[in-house]
Structure 1
Amino acid sequence: MAERKLRALLVDDEPLANAELQRLLGAHHDVLEIVGVCEDATAAREAIDRLLPDVIFLDIALPDESGIALMASLDPAPTVVFVTAFNEHAVQAFELSAEDYLLKPVNALRLEQAVARLLASGDRSTPEPRDLRRPLRLHERIFLHDTNARLWLIAVGEIKLLEVAGEGTRVVFGRGTANSPRSLRAIEQRLPEHAFIRANRTQIIALSHVREVHPWFVGRLKVTIDGGIEVFVSRRQARAFTNELSL
């Protein structure tokens, strides 16, 4: 049985850039089919749900939301190839498991290499979306980066606290602080069961790093974790928190 073509969605707010990418991808029409073109993240979300593309060629500078934020919010996400004029987002892109990162103006040979990577990445006769929901294990190591663009490779068990920071998440661990472009909710879905618990709407704490727990006002709790960091557990979460720590 013949392999089906990859279904591609193009997302870029510059019509000329979309047109040029379509022209270049036309050289690969035997293995790739363009099923849609969008100019912002809102339209892209709708198109992803409706068209179920195998791959998104995604710009970073979109008018309503960054391409990084769009990819981070898709769970599970289709395969993504970033196509952008900015090279400083490459670390974030590969942290999110982007398949490739192309700089504008796109070179035909470089695009050919990206398409080859796409074809080699899986069996197109039985495609499934990339599953980013697999629970992590405490010993697994993950990449993070800080505001000075320094990369950290840490074990999940080193994490003490996660909290909302803009469109992403701030991660506090034993050796410092770093950031993830993923939302707190997306990260929460991948944390090891019974090892982390949501303290409130904006923070998640690691139970193994809890040192003190005190009753607080209006049914809340004040929790101190390693490093003397104080976190307030909401009244709604207080019972779940004490149940996790009880015999």
Structure 2
Amino acid sequence: MSEHKLRVLLVDDEPLANVELRRLLEAHHAVLEVVGVCEDATAARDAIDRLSPDVIFLDIALPDESGIGLLASLDPSPAVVFVTAFSEHAVQAFALSAEDYLLKPVNAARLDQAVARLLTRADRATPEPRDLRRPLRSHERIFLHDTNARLWLIAVAEIMLLEVAGEGTRVLFGRGVANSPRSLRAIEPRLPDDAFFRANRSQIIALKYVRQVHPWFAGRLKVTIDGGIEVFVSRRQARALVSGLSL
């Protein structure tokens, strides 16, 4: 079990819902600490920056933006458990890597399951051995497995795109596609900073393979890399990309 309490932020525009969820979470006070409560997405973004929560319990229907939209815009994001009266958004939620999806009124036993899942996630996030954290250089070669259990030995410079695939990472390179059991978040610190760029919550691109960049909706960018593969850069990351590559 994680040695510290998980810091929790509650986001729901119904004050009574926040009060009730906070009451239910008291049963887990030994492992969870509620550090803030917000009633809209704007306040939630500010609280995330100030409080650095480990977990957000997030409603779908917020007055200024949907909870789905809020999660999609966070990069990186804390763990998110949706708490909502609407069952139809579950597929979207899990596609955005939500940890769980609770329906109102929240059942205590079901909440217990969600908390157990969060604690398991926290345990998986323990630091890796030092030699696995060392940043790679572009000329170095690494081993990757593909879906047919073949083993590839490739140079880091061959990698074009990395993206979330379940709990692991799908790696696209010039000669094929391979998979790593490690998460994208665990792999990212090992990539050369000057060669790779996180486009959104689930994808990292190699800058040398970018062929076209186009403005897209809501301040995002559409990037085309070798092979005609299109990747959408989040609004926040679009600003960083333009700033970093401008004279």
Per the shorter chain, which TM-score range?
0.5 to 0.7
The aligned runs of 1:5-84 (5 Å cut-off) are 5-84=5-84
Confirm or deny: 8 A CA contact 2:160 2:209 kept in the other structure. no
So what's the TM-score if we normalise by structure 2? 0.59
The aligned runs of 1:129-144 (5 Å cut-off) are 138=161
Assess, with a 3 A threshold, how the Cα gap between structure 1 residues 124 and 22 changes in structure 2: closer, same or farther.
farther
| Superposed displacement of residue 188, structure 1 | 9.6
* 3-state SS of 2:208 partner: coil
The aligned runs of 1:168-179 (5 Å cut-off) are none
Confirm or deny: 8 A CA contact 1:141 1:155 kept in the other structure. no
**Deviation per residue, 1:152-172 (Å, 9 max, x gap):** xx9968xxxxxxxxxxxxxxx
Whether 1:205 and 2:219 are equivalent positions in the alignment is: no
| Counterpart-to-counterpart distance in 1, 2:103 and 2:11 | 15
| Superposed displacement of residue 35, structure 1 | 0.6
Confirm or deny: 8 A CA contact 2:210 2:223 kept in the other structure. yes
**Deviation per residue, 1:63-106 (Å, 9 max, x gap):** 11111111111111111111111111111111111111111111
| Counterpart-to-counterpart distance in 2, 1:209 and 1:31 | 47
Assess, with a 3 A threshold, how the Cα gap between structure 1 residues 95 and 60 changes in structure 2: closer, same or farther.
same
Between 95-104 and 34-43, report the one with greater CA deviation: 95-104
* 3-state SS of 1:88 partner: helix
Confirm or deny: 8 A CA contact 1:142 1:156 kept in the other structure. no
- Whichever structure has more helix as a proportion of its residues is 2
* Structure whose CA Rg is larger: 1
| Counterpart-to-counterpart distance in 2, 1:208 and 1:34 | 47
Confirm or deny: 8 A CA contact 1:57 1:83 kept in the other structure. yes
The aligned runs of 1:51-200 (5 Å cut-off) are 51-123=51-123, 138=161, 186=200, 190-200=204-214
* 3-state SS of 1:200 partner: strand
Confirm or deny: 8 A CA contact 2:75 2:201 kept in the other structure. no
| Superposed displacement of residue 138, structure 1 | 4.8
| Superposed displacement of residue 204, structure 1 | 2.5
| Counterpart-to-counterpart distance in 2, 1:112 and 1:75 | 27
Equivalent residue letter for 2:98: A
So what's the TM-score if we normalise by structure 1? 0.59
Gaps of at least 5 residues in structure 1 are 128-134, 144-153, 158-183, 211-224, 226-236, 241-247
Equivalent residue letter for 1:31: V
Gaps of at least 5 residues in structure 2 are 128-155, 174-197, 217-221, 231-241
| Superposed displacement of residue 207, structure 1 | 3.1
| Counterpart-to-counterpart distance in 2, 1:64 and 1:3 | 36
Assess, with a 3 A threshold, how the Cα gap between structure 1 residues 201 and 114 changes in structure 2: closer, same or farther.
same
Equivalent residue letter for 1:209: G
